[in-house]
Chains A and B, each alone.
Chain A
Amino acid sequence: NAGVMQNPRHLVRRRGQEARLRCSPMKGHSHVYWYRQLPEEGLKFMVYLQKENIIDESGMPKERFSAEFPKEGPSILRIQQVVRGDSAAYFCASSPLTLTEAFFGQGTRLTVV
């Protein structure tokens, strides 16, 4: 049973470009969560999705950021017109039902140059 898969592991984008981060949850998991970790900080919640639905996006910036979890395929976190402050590690977690069993992927390290 493969774990949570995130790709790419590392992503470099120039300011103004778009970044697309992908997350495939564990088999049987229908809940996906995205977190961001800035240097020397904890993990900050961004968005919680179930298949085809955004359940909670209270932690996601209102502009430039969007997320989806389509019926087929991975969850995508999309950042448009990236800025240097978007440089961070982005982690995806999945769970079968509640967050009492959340497992994380290895993360995508985004660097904006």
Chain B
Amino acid sequence: DQQVKQNSPSLSVQEGRISILNCDYTNSMFDYFLWYKKYPAEGPTFLISISSIKDKNEDGRFTVFLNKSAKHLSLHIVPSQPGDSAVYFCAATSSGNTPLVFGKGTRLSVIA
């Protein structure tokens, strides 16, 4: 039973355009969500997070949107750069006190 789902295994975007990565969750107890970026042979790197009391959080080129009623969140990267090419993982926790549950990841390729 996958509690966090990233239904798109891969995504290709042209440099300068917007990348939109999607994530759905099923557990209504989740109230804190994180996005991690992972390069090959490296550990996941924290990117951005959002609490369920918000519906948007922005940090530079990265914005995360949360739609609680739909149990859906998305990560927007604009403008996309070749260095953004990596696997992006969505993760969720309940009040930060339960282990992070990860999706399977989406491989983003930004084409120059």
Contacts and interface: CB of A to CB of B under 8 A. Distances in A.
Contacts of B32: 99-100
A102 interface: yes
B93 A99 contact: yes
A6 B98 CA distance: 23
Contacts of A109: 41
A42 B103 contact: yes
Contacts of A101: 46
Contact of B100 (A4, A40, A102): A102
A108 to B, nearest CB: 10
A99 B46 CA distance: 11
Interface residues of A, number: 27
B14 interface: no
Interface string B86-103: 000101010111111111
A69 interface: no
Interface in B59-112: 89, 91, 93, 95-105
Interface in A16-51: 33, 35, 40-45, 48
A101 to B, nearest CB: 8
Nearest to B45: A104
A97 B96 CA distance: 9
A103 interface: yes
Interface in A64-113: 91, 93, 97-107, 109
B57 to A, nearest CB: 12
Interface of A: 4, 6, 33, 35, 40-45, 48, 56, 59, 91, 93, 97-107, 109
Q: 4 tightest A-B contacts by CB?
A: A98-B96, A104-B43, A100-B96, A45-B99
Interface of B: 4, 6, 32, 34, 36, 41-46, 49, 89, 91, 93, 95-105
Given A42-B89, A43-B89, 15 more contacts: A35-B102, A40-B104, A42-B4, A43-B91, A43-B102, A45-B101, A59-B99, A98-B97, A99-B32, A99-B97, A100-B96, A102-B46, A104-B46, A105-B43, A106-B42
